[in-house]
Structure 1
Amino acid sequence: DHRHHDMSLPLLEEKTGLTVHCNEDDNDTAYKRLVTHCEKRKYTCKAESWVGCCFSPTKDKFRFASYHESEWSQSDEMERIVADLRPISPEHHINDVTKLSFGGQPQIKRGKVGRNAPCLCGSGNKSKRCCAP
């Protein structure tokens, strides 16, 4: 859809987080937008560091990244800046990074199979018309 999309994942115990942007804005505009978003999220999550990455959705490639590191401190100016920022939904809060999972990979059963038997990949096709050489 060529529109801007973003996602932020705070790692609360580690006092850090990640923001990912996907857009086709020019580099200057996209970089400023990413830096601003990272600074806001870093402040609202009381983090000491934050990483931002920007990807091109149409070219399927990484564009650039930003890294923000500083001790968190309360700021009236930042409070005003983040006043209209939507909170991160609870399902995006990562409390224990060791339990982070990106889902299981499908497992293909291995073993000898006849040419007319169903293929082991699970497609439902005969082996000779699917994965068999």
Structure 2
Amino acid sequence: MTKFTPFAALILLLVAVSYFTGKDQSNIELHQAFITEPEFRLDISPWPVLVEEEITLLFTLSMSEKQKIESISARVEGVNMNMGVIPVIWSEADTSGQTIGSFMLGSCSEPVMRWQLILDVRLTSGKKIQRIAEFSSRS
């Protein structure tokens, strides 16, 4: 009878963990310009978007906008399947006109899932910025 040693158990555990958590990330960029307009830029990371991973948004006001962010909110909704409403959680905006948001997408039975990001920003001048942008993820 073969004895199962602690070393063999550790090796088996490491192989299992690497198999279940290993994703090919060789073609993933750190960030991608998601929305670029004269008054602001919204970057998304990682790109392409992954499911069941934290996704980060970086909202930056252009330097020509001599204003500050009063409030910012965003949500993500499924386009080709109802996945509920996924809120984006934002950090406090800094003095340079930047703020960071994050969210996570659940996996789906669709091989390619289409999503829409609904962005609402209010500047200290009272100006409102509202945009809807689509992106996709693969399971």
TM-score range, shorter chain: under 0.3
TM-score (normalised: structure 2): 0.26
TM-score of the aligned structures, taking structure 1 as reference length: 0.27
User: Who wins on radius of gyration, i.e. which is larger?
Assistant: 1
> Larger % of helix: which?
1
More strand by share: 2
